[in-house]
Amino acid sequence: MSSVSEYFSGLFGGIKSLLTGMGVTWKELWSKKVTQQYPENRDTLVISDRFRGELTMPHDNNNEHACTACGICQINCPNGTITVVSKMMETDEGKKKKILDEYFYDLGMCTFCNLCVISCPSDAIKFDNTFENAVFTRSTLKQRLNNEGSKLREKKREPKPVAAPVATEAKPKPAAPAEAKAPATASEDSAVKEDIKENKE
């Protein structure tokens, strides 16, 4: 009996799952279709900002970037897509400082995992949503992201705000102690006694 019940339970379970799948298919059959006419719609084509198409290093108008050549992105890359080449320079104070010399990126090996962007402490790199990266020569997929003659963008140090003086309530001054009366002299005592004597008379 157990084998028969298991047979029918499996049979009805399969029919239920089949009907569920057919219901989804029937619903999609009558839904409105959206077909992108690519490449004719390049001017109106909208790509999601979250789409990862190509790694870039933004530069400002002064040809400056934010990469400090720390190499964290290269360490976190799972398949060696990024190569950071740094060099040492001497500052005006006579101290040695490591700066970025060349930043290489192999688009053909990239898995677009975004680990490099997430781990970058200075937000120097990001993924653009470009997707037309087809080429005839594989070597052209190897790119240098930092421009020629570019340099590290100096962080502007904002002046620390001066704390406004805190207004304190004026505390009332303690009352001055009463002046101690000087002891009466002998002449004053005699005058008082004479006044008392006259009043009695």
Question: Domain residues of the chain, as ranges?
Answer: 54-145
pLDDT at 5: 84
Q: Regarding predicted confidence, which is higher, 102 or 1?
A: 102
pLDDT tens digit sequence for 140-172? 999 999 999 898 888 765 566 665 666 556 566
Contact 122, 130 (CB under 8 A): no
DSSP state of 169: P
3-state DSSP assignment of residue 64: strand
For residue 159, the one-letter residue type is P
Rounded to whole angstroms, what are the CA distances from 112 to 63, 66, 76, 122? 26, 21, 12, 19
- The alpha carbon dihedral of 129, 131, 116, 57 has a sign of negative
CATH code that applies to domain 54-145:
3.30.70.3270
Side-chain-side CA neighbours of 150 within 13 Å: the count stands at 23
User: How large is the average pLDDT for residues 179-184?
Assistant: 52
For 109, other C-beta atoms within 10 Å of its C-beta total 14
- Among the residue ranges 52-61, 113-122, 130-139, 149-158, the one predicted with the least confidence is 149-158
DSSP state of 177: P
For 60, other C-beta atoms within 10 Å of its C-beta total 10
pLDDT at 8: 86
pLDDT tens digit sequence for 65-76? 999 999 999 999
CA 118 to chain centre: 10
- Supply angle C-alpha 153, 67, 47, rounded to 5: 105
